[in-house]
Amino acid sequence: MAGQVDAIMPPWKHRRRLIYGSYILGAGMIVFGAITYWSDTQVGSQLVIGGVALISIIISAYVASATFEDVKLWKEEPHE
């Protein structure tokens, strides 16, 4: 019975887990890129750019989807 409760998880919890994992990946890219920034190749700078872009996209998508969900929920409720 406990396994069934864990298996049925609200979708927002799953999305939030994916978002936190992506934040960790983006932060790791920025840290590793900062460490290797002065190497002969441009890998370090591209990792920093990619990490910042990833985090920016995550924040934008999260805010947009939360706004969409709020509008969708408020439209379904009857107004008094």
pLDDT for 40 equals 78
Nearest C-alpha neighbor of 26 from the set 52, 3, 60, 63: 52
Residue 2 resides in a domain: no
Domain that holds residue 45: 10-76
Residue 5 resides in a domain: no
Residue 39 resides in a domain: yes
Residue 29 resides in a domain: yes
Per-residue model confidence as pLDDT tens digits over 62-72: 888 878 877 87
19 Cβ contact list (under 8 Å, min separation 6)? 58, 62
Token pair in block for residue 2 = 């406990």
Number of folded domains in the chain? Answer: 1
Per-residue model confidence as pLDDT tens digits over 41-60: 889 899 999 999 999 999 89
**Confidence (pTM):** 0.68
How would residue 78 be classed by pLDDT, with cut points 50, 70 and 90? low
- Give me Rg for the CA atoms of the chain: 19
CA distances in angstroms from 14 to 3, 21, 38, listed in the order given: 16, 11, 38
